[in-house]
Structure 1
Amino acid sequence: MKGYSKKYLPLIIGAACAIGVFIGSALDFSDSSEGLFTANAKKEKLNRLIDYIDYEYVDDVNTDSIVDVTVNSILEDLDPHSTYIPKQKYDALAENMKGDFVGIGVSFYTLNDTVAVIKPLADGPSEKAGIKAGDRILYANGIELAQKEIDTDSLSSLLKGEINTTVNLKIKRNGVKNLLDIPVKRGLIPIKSVDAAYMLNNKLGYVKVNRFAETTYNEFEKAITNLIAQGATELALDLRDNGGGYLDQAVKIADEFLKEGKLIVFTKNKSGEINKTFASKKGRFENTKVFVLINENSASASEIVAGALQDNDVGTIIGRRSYGKGLVQREMNLGDGSAVRLTVARYYTPTGRSIQKPYSHGSNDKYFEEYLARYNNGELLSKDSISVNDSLQYKTPKGKIVYGGGGIIPDVFVAKVTDYEKESLNYMLKGGVMDRFIFNILEEDRDYYNNLSLEEFNQQEIITDQILTDFIDYLMKFNFDFKTKNYKYLLKKYLKATVAEQLFGSNAYQKIISEDDLMIQKIIELDNL
């Protein structure tokens, strides 16, 4: 990050997380747009223009790109969350929100033109077939993979395929003379939306959800079932940096905390039609302490959960004012593999408040740069600096004052870290810059690390001063000029967490990086009152 002025660091941090709001903007409404497309002069005018350019214009023109630009221009003049998805991006976005794909279940690097396994996914096809961390995959169905012309996309297509089909792998394993022939039957591989689930103390469970995909509630249900088995009678739900997703998944999670008949959310469309959603009989945390963590990047479905609990006087919302997205999108197919996510309604919390922050048609840049405005007005450091509109004041059943007009204001405020160089380093380290370095460290004694238990791992000094020095030297090769001597503790923590992730998974990683998390410390403090 050489050459960046410190004054731009808050904007860089905000921009890094704003992407999540786009990814999480699709809500689960059926596409009922059939029959809307009757012929009219406006549509015919556009069709004729495209035809004239195709057949009469003096030069060859890619009219597909013209159409893409036109669609984007139209949507940009509507609202900030009506978006166009080109066909070349649609499959990747759909897969991300679907929550799973068909494959063999390994995370890997292409290391010196060889596919090196970082870790087989727990209970996945590769782990069941006997593949281990550190294995090199040399052939897949007779096709040599150690070729420069096979890029990551091509490699993924070779390893993915139809469910229950078999891919025959040839594996090179350290310490084994001959190549191993291992057939792997492809299966459904989850794209996890629950990053972590563990106990904060003997009664308080913790679950971190990164988005609301099709499988999120199923993941959440498994997580809380496991925590209850460990003794959890209270729950902390971490929705920080969660850009949202499917409405029904948010409703199901909110239902776990609300008694039967309580209003969770309602939507209102162009014609004034109102659809209300109420809590059902189920709910394993209805009569106990509940904590929800939010920040300035918690949006959409995250705000539905936080707003439903706050407006029903359930639990405690902790953190900073949420993003402020109260618009509902429906995904509509455009017929050529592309799609549009069009805003079709607004949603409201149980007290009737809209938490959509203000926007002006056609001024999306200002809308998405609001993070910088929050930084400048001081609201990331003090709840008293949050600007509220008294005309948008509402009362919960127990008389608590809440506000509409732009995000969920937490019940308990926790200020943002003011060391923005440290915060920028945090975001950089979360981006995977350590992964390859740590993989090489583990390769130096793979047998030892692969046989290490989590208990043994926690008891040892995994990251020595020498490993830290080597990593700082490694960073310098990429022109990272952070004052690393001021953040050695932070670097050691992330190095250890990355080792834990590659050996034991994301739960172990999250637990380590959260050791000095101010919001989690606040939860534990409130829980002990």
Structure 2
Amino acid sequence: MTIEPTPQPTSASEPKPRNSRRQVRQPLLLALALACGVLLGSNPFRPSSQNPDGTVRGYLKFKEILSYVDRDYVDSVDAEALSDYAIARMLEQLDPHSVFIPAKQQQQASSFLQSDFDGVGVEFNIFHDTVTVVAPLSGGPAELSGLQPGDRIMAVNGERVSGIHITTEQMFGKLRGTRGSKVVLQLLRHHQVKPLNVAVIRNRIPNNSVDVSYLLDKQTGYIKISRFASGTYDEFKQALGDLRRQGMTSLVLDLRGNPGGYLDRATKLADEFIGGTRKIVYTDGKGDQYDTQTFSRVAGEFEEGPLVVLVDEGSASAAEVVAGALQDHDRALVVGRRTYGKGLVQQPIALNDGSELRLTIARYYTPSGRSIQKSYRKGLAAYEQDLQNRLRHGELFHADSIHFADSLRYHTDHGRTVYGGGGIMPDIFVPRDTTAFSAYYTRLQSHNLVREYALNYFQEHKAELEALRPEQFLNTFRINDAQLQALAQMAARDGMPANPTHLRNCASLLRNQIKAYIARSAYGKQTYYAVLHQQDTELKQAVQAMGNGSANPMQKLSMN
């Protein structure tokens, strides 16, 4: 179950893990990314069934077989692990998003949607089996203890972590811990021969879901939301208020790569844009118990003014609820590519042993009646291949490669045609950059070489970078041909033969990413995103829509 998002920040931060090049993707985190359509509330389930006799027979059969295996099988077995495996395989027969989370993984699974955690507050990456600090989080324990970008963590509490093929998840386990507890990090710092021992006192670290918010120009605000976690709405309200006080009159809401999360946070956010009492989303389940309708009900802070929502094939679930509602009510222009198509609602059910069942209980529908969920009739394997099939069929590059049946045609409040059948189709289609799919570029990314080169550059030029203000860096700093060649030489030493043609083809994208990663270490997230946005085609389309008036479809239609 993989979602490949648009390029994201270089960090492998504690709350948002990134994988090292030798690390296998964590299946749990991927399952979470696709299962983020969580309905909050108490557990309404009771041990009852529409077919009690069948349920009892199935239970007794499973119990009998498991007992025989545990007692008589030729080798020793872990009966609990077998049971967990059987439950997971059973749920796969239902739909792609009903999941079972074993007790030992439940806390990790829940942390994805928490607004904070206890730890040291450091973003890191793993280069050549060495854990390297990308940036300490502002105001966090690591920064207060003096950690710097580029510091290499050799040991944690005397236990070696470098050169042993440690995974990102294992490193999280060593850095996180009870608030107030101490962890001693042994560091190697650039231009220093002897290692440093730094004691860090763990504290509460915010796990922000609003990645960045700032003014693109004097009137146009930008807010990027990575997921709908417990604190998302409060973070969004603060960001929106700050931008309004700075003079914002139009807004770009970036939901690209957002896998969803808590439904109520998403609907509260949508309510900030939709005036009056209008339907935001409704759900339809097996019985009336799971049929719900959610309406706008508060006086939102930005109910008028140009609004663009950026989406892509990584936008799913609650993110699709927001985009669909704003599109159906002609409140916003949706720009990008067709969203993932995850419109199933999961109810979290706590089990007696501490494990959790997230069971699909309903489907999401937009106000116009569109089902967000794409088909999964051909089975789990075909469902998981959907994004690869979109790539293969050209849908990510050409709007005319996308076909909808007439039966899936719906209309917005003001009569614009929109389509159901899986995902939200944008009003303005923006193709992906084909450069990102070249084999050479992909290998550079998978080997972490672009990030590593940028961090090395920052360390070598730290003084001159710190002498520049962020605005000066944005306007004057350039990655030249010699620096690209240095990256290619680093790649060659890592087993990637130099290929001048391939390097030239992706040079523009590499220059932008290297500059962005340098900015991340030198100036922080806002400058990092500002650099990325210099070559962000979807964002440029959004700003253009602001300029020509199409970013407010409702106002435009009422004037015609």
1:366-385 superposed matches below 5 A: 366-385=382-401
Deviations 1:278-337 (A, max 9, x none): 123242211110001112222111110011111112111112222222111122234444
- The residue identity in structure 2 corresponding to 1:508 is T
1:23 aligns with 2:40: no
| 8 Å Cα contact 1:21-1:297 kept in structure 2 | no
- The residue identity in structure 2 corresponding to 1:329 is Q
Q: Where do 5+ consecutive residues of structure 1 fail to align?
A: 1-9
Residue 455 of structure 2 corresponds to which residue in structure 1? 439
Residue 4 of structure 1 corresponds to which residue in structure 2? none
Of 62, 82, 101, the match for 1:46: 62
Residue 7 of structure 1 corresponds to which residue in structure 2? none
Note the C-alpha offset of 1:238. Answer: 1.3
2:134 counterpart SS class: strand
Does the C-alpha gap of structure 1 residues 516 and 21 become closer, same or farther in structure 2, counting only changes over 3 Å? farther
| 8 Å Cα contact 1:429-1:494 kept in structure 2 | no
1:36 aligns with 2:42: no
Of 107, 112, 134, the match for 2:123: 107
Note the C-alpha offset of 1:173. Answer: 6.2
Q: Aligned partners of 2:86 and 2:536: how far apart in 1? A: 45
- The residue identity in structure 2 corresponding to 1:342 is L
Deviations 1:342-398 (A, max 9, x none): 11111111122212112216x111122223443455443443442223223323222
| 8 Å Cα contact 1:20-1:242 kept in structure 2 | no
- The residue identity in structure 2 corresponding to 1:32 is N
| 8 Å Cα contact 2:316-2:341 kept in structure 1 | yes
Q: Aligned partners of 2:128 and 2:92: how far apart in 1? A: 44
1:506 aligns with 2:517: no
1:358-397 superposed matches below 5 A: 358-360=375-377, 363-397=379-413
1:60 counterpart SS class: coil
1:523 aligns with 2:542: yes
Residue 331 of structure 1 corresponds to which residue in structure 2? 348
Q: What's the TM-score once normalised by structure 2's chain length?
A: 0.81
Q: Aligned partners of 2:356 and 2:364: how far apart in 1? A: 22
| 8 Å Cα contact 2:34-2:342 kept in structure 1 | no
1:289 aligns with 2:299: no
Residue 197 of structure 1 corresponds to which residue in structure 2? 213
Q: Comparing 352-361 with 310-319, which one deviates more in the overlay?
A: 352-361
1:286 counterpart SS class: coil
2:308 counterpart SS class: strand
Residue 276 of structure 2 corresponds to which residue in structure 1? 260
Q: Comparing 132-141 with 316-325, which one deviates more in the overlay?
A: 132-141
Q: Where do 5+ consecutive residues of structure 2 fail to align?
A: 8-24, 549-560
1:472 aligns with 2:488: yes
Note the C-alpha offset of 1:258. Answer: 0.7
- The residue identity in structure 2 corresponding to 1:488 is A
Does the C-alpha gap of structure 1 residues 460 and 417 become closer, same or farther in structure 2, counting only changes over 3 Å? closer
Does the C-alpha gap of structure 1 residues 382 and 151 become closer, same or farther in structure 2, counting only changes over 3 Å? closer
1:271 aligns with 2:282: no
- The residue identity in structure 2 corresponding to 1:36 is P
Residue 513 of structure 2 corresponds to which residue in structure 1? 494
Deviations 1:451-508 (A, max 9, x none): 6532343354353433321211112234446611222222221111111112222322
Of 37, 46, 66, the match for 2:82: 66
- The residue identity in structure 2 corresponding to 1:211 is R
1:317 aligns with 2:337: no
| 8 Å Cα contact 2:334-2:427 kept in structure 1 | yes
1:345 counterpart SS class: strand
2:338 counterpart SS class: coil
Does the C-alpha gap of structure 1 residues 221 and 478 become closer, same or farther in structure 2, counting only changes over 3 Å? farther
Does the C-alpha gap of structure 1 residues 416 and 458 become closer, same or farther in structure 2, counting only changes over 3 Å? closer
Residue 6 of structure 1 corresponds to which residue in structure 2? none
Q: Aligned partners of 2:162 and 2:312: how far apart in 1? A: 45
Q: Aligned partners of 2:474 and 2:446: how far apart in 1? A: 21
Q: Aligned partners of 2:428 and 2:193: how far apart in 1? A: 60
1:227 aligns with 2:235: no
1:458 aligns with 2:474: yes
1:434 counterpart SS class: helix
Q: Aligned partners of 1:387 and 1:475: how far apart in 2? A: 41
| 8 Å Cα contact 1:241-1:298 kept in structure 2 | yes
Q: Aligned partners of 2:447 and 2:115: how far apart in 1? A: 21
Provide the aligned C-alpha RMSD in A: 3.5
Q: Comparing 485-494 with 60-69, which one deviates more in the overlay?
A: 60-69
Deviations 1:79-132 (A, max 9, x none): 121123344543332222223211121224578998654321112223234444
- The residue identity in structure 1 corresponding to 2:112 is N
